[in-house]
């Protein structure tokens, strides 16, 4: 799930890894693409070896520090939070992004506000 992916990204950044490999899921791939668009990740690629698929993720650094400082999981398996389109807010006064699962795919808070869609509020990252 996406919370495992976020923990792997944070841990890889803390130990100064250039990147890492994790198992593939379509949802994790979409979340990673949103993080690339938000400049938290440098690159994400879907790789296939035989019949096994996996994600190759590159961490983005600024001044030798990972761009991703921390994250907060909003929707958990035990509690899902849904937000209407008018209630999509900024994160950390614009320094972070909120990630939503909408009927138009996985979007950050800025794109969700532009497209006027709401959805499940997955997590915040800054």
Closest residue by Cα to residue 83 from 63, 109, 62: 109
Q: Quick one: tokens of 47? A: 């790789």
Residue that terminates a domain, selected from 66, 84, 102: 66
6, 56: one domain: yes
- What is the pTM for the complete model shown? 0.93
Q: Residue 39: which CATH number? A: 3.30.1370.30
Domain with 102, as residue range(s), is 71-125
pLDDT per position as a tens digit, 63-83:
999 999 999 999 999 999 999
Alpha helices (H) along the chain? 2-14, 26-37, 109-115
pLDDT tens digits for range 86-102: 898 999 998 999 999 99
Q: What is the CATH number of the domain that holds 78?
A: 3.30.1490.10
User: Are 41 and 89 part of one and the same domain?
Assistant: no
Q: What pLDDT is recorded for position 1?
A: 84
b/e 107-118 (16+ beta carbons within 10 angstroms → b): bbbbbbbeeebb
């Amino acid at each position: 799930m996406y919370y495992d992916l976020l923990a792997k990204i944070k841990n890889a950044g803390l130990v100064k890894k250039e990147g890492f490999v994790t198992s593939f899921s379509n949802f994790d791939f979409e979340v990673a693409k949103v993080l690339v668009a938000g400049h938290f990740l440098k690159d994400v690629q879907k790789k296939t070896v035989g019949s096994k698929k996996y994600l190759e993720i590159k961490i983005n650094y600024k001044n030798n520090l990972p761009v991703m400082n921390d994250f907060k999981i909003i929707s958990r398996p035990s509690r899902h939070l849904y937000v209407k389109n008018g209630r999509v807010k900024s994160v950390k006064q614009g320094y972070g992004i909120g990630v939503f699962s909408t009927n138009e795919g996985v979007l950050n808070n800025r794109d969700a506000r532009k497209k006027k869609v709401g959805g499940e509020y997955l997590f915040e990252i800054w």
